Amino acid sequence: MAQSTANPRAAPSGPIVERLTALTKTAQFYWWLGHVTVLVCGTLYYAKRPFGWQNANWYYPKALLGALVSYAIVVYKTYGPPQANLAFAQRLIVDENVEYLLLAFYWYVNRPIWVTLIPFVVFSLFHVLTYVRSTLIPTIFPLVPAEIQRARQTEQPAMSMAARVSKAMGEWSSKYYTPALREVGVWEAAGICVWLCVGALTLQSPLTAPVVYFQFLRMRYALSAPTRAAFRRVRTFLDGVLTPPTAHTAVPGVVTDTYIRMRDILVKMGDGIMDPSARQPQPQPQQQQQPQQ
């Protein structure tokens, strides 16, 4: 999940107009606006989609444009202006913000594929709430942090509406942040991947989409422990559904055999990603010698 590089800032002193003006001069504010755009346009896209493709599709690129703005700001704040050297490129390629930035750009320049926007909307929801709670509310209501702090020390706290809203946002985010990221990881590993492959085979999606997305998943698998955990969850579920002894008797043997072959291929690919040396040809062992480990 792409993160902002800016830390929550203390609310400036002075009249509210000056405080808000100072807020709009920060890069983090425009990072937040990008995520607001993703959240609003993404929500409208999914709300309108059942009632008309053309009307809904207008919101899809707007949501991705918001994602591009947010991720570009984070990348620029982290690395500064682009540099024409290999070391700079190597630093970029292993950054998850860069990976999501490139993926968002690919979806932006192609026709809408509804499954691809869900992770961006979920990420933006938590980013928007975090910024509102940690920065926007304290800027408008400077006494809120002190109110919440006092509330933690008393059994029956009396808080303003702004403080109650801020506290509720923090509790909701803390409760659902980790579960939401787990489910998004599974959606990225299985839902989007399967949809793109089927779409490419039926010519409903660009033929390049599975290739581009596979490269994205390859990088995420190599660099992200939650992504690897998501793949393990998908494998555990499919093993239980499609392989003996837990598979239903109605599952045809050819389906089980095909799944096992595909699963083993993917497992070997995953092992190769984590240990590139495993993909190198190994010397043939001499007769009666143990194979090299």
258-278 pLDDT per residue, tens: 888 988 888 888 888 776 554
pLDDT on residue 284: 37
Q: Give the span between the Cα atoms of 262 and 184, in whole angstroms.
A: 23
pLDDT on residue 52: 77
pLDDT on residue 279: 43
Side-chain half-sphere of 269: how many Cα atoms within 13 Å? 14
Tell me what the pLDDT averaged over the chain comes to.
86
For the chain, the domains span: 1-149, 176-277
pLDDT on residue 149: 84
pLDDT on residue 11: 44
Extract the residue ranges of the chain whose pLDDT is less than 70: 1-13, 155-157, 275-293
pLDDT on residue 158: 79
pLDDT on residue 280: 45
pLDDT on residue 1: 56
Q: Which pTM does this prediction carry?
A: 0.85
